[in-house]
A = this chain, B = another copy of it.
């Protein structure tokens, strides 16, 4: 993309509405804009991040045998009454009536819909285990929407549902998902801690939360660095002083952002909804279920909270909107334009996601500041003093390491930098 007509409006100062690092940086780098309280627009670069995260999750969900589908946003009241959640969900559930005065809600989660579907379509234990998932915009009318994408009323989520024939199979499915989640977050270089979590409005008998430690996190966790025991403090009657698992006395307490949540549901939904299959002995039995969420849009914010400096974002390559930024300094000069354009075309031809800063009448200082701000992993400076001396500069956003390379070797050097630094 050419920055000159790419819809990525950077701001020198963060708008007053933003309090956290990620929220400020997402607005300053033109990733998102606010439409209404808790409701955000993903601009093209923000959308690219969203798709990168989605792509990683999809690959790992497919590798775990997941089947992707798409369930409706609008759900009839009757389904939610079967599980008692129509009233239990309270004001967080966004509700509407259609033209015939029938009641519906906007799905904050899809247990009822998927349980009804699978109960209707799957009849035999031979068809189990089954794992289905979707990416979808979800809705929750938060009491206090805040921190941008962290606590939003409309958000983008991956939700998955497992259906098993018995407890043993169901625990295997659950453990497989925990391992899948570890892989997903590792590929995003997102440091997460897995803790025992609340079951809350989803229900079930056990849950795990994947937490990104962060000062502005709204959750609080306590964990043991020795044995990895961990828990959301909300589910503890009191905070233990020694680790309940290994008796270590070094328990750590920190704030965190929840990016993933898994629930072992058992028959919480299949029993009240009468979703049954025929088991190996020929008897009707309710499905044993699990459900597994990842806050896709929230991950963008969590990743930025975890990887930035005073100059801006430091993107992990696997979720960065672009891999390479060509900062064409003094793009007005024909010789700079020629080289920058050539490099741009050569990188695009190799499928390297490249942003070319071709903005005219923009000072070198502004281009440098914007480059650090938007945080693309590999940056190439073309122009200025080094150019006069026959060089381009390749600069890594993360380390700040800068290398001067001969102009004729720019493309090859960029490709090498990507190979060495671009794995995660």
Does A422 reach chain B (CB closer than 8 Å)?
no
Does A267 reach chain B (CB closer than 8 Å)?
no
Name the residue in A44, A72, A154, A360 with the highest tally of chain B Cβ atoms < 10 Å from its Cβ: A72
Is B95's CB under 8 angstroms from A69's CB?
no
B contact residues around A43 at 8 Å (CB): 69
CB distance from A268 to the nearest CB of B (A): 20
CB distance from A341 to the nearest CB of B (A): 16
A69 to B43, CA, bound (A): 5
Is A96's CB under 8 angstroms from B99's CB?
no
- Specify how many copies of this chain sit in the oligomer: 2
Is B128's CB under 8 angstroms from A5's CB?
yes
Is B39's CB under 8 angstroms from A72's CB?
yes
B contact residues around A40 at 8 Å (CB): 72
Is A69's CB under 8 angstroms from B96's CB?
no
Does A126 reach chain B (CB closer than 8 Å)?
yes
Q: Which of A90-121 contact B (CB under 8 A)?
A: 91, 94-96, 98-99, 104, 106, 113, 116-118, 120-121
Which applies to chain A's interface (DSSP): helix, strand, loop or mixed? mixed
- Known A5-B128, A121-B7, A141-B98: A36·B76 in contact at CB below 8 Å: yes
0/1 string, A66-95, CB within 8 A of B gives 1: 011111111110000000000000010011
Name the residue in A95, A113, A127, A156 with the highest tally of chain B Cβ atoms < 10 Å from its Cβ: A127
Does A229 reach chain B (CB closer than 8 Å)?
no
Is A117's CB under 8 angstroms from B67's CB?
no
0/1 string, A136-157, CB within 8 A of B gives 1: 1101010100000000011010
0/1 string, A58-72, CB within 8 A of B gives 1: 000000000111111
Q: Which of A224-283 contact B (CB under 8 A)?
A: none
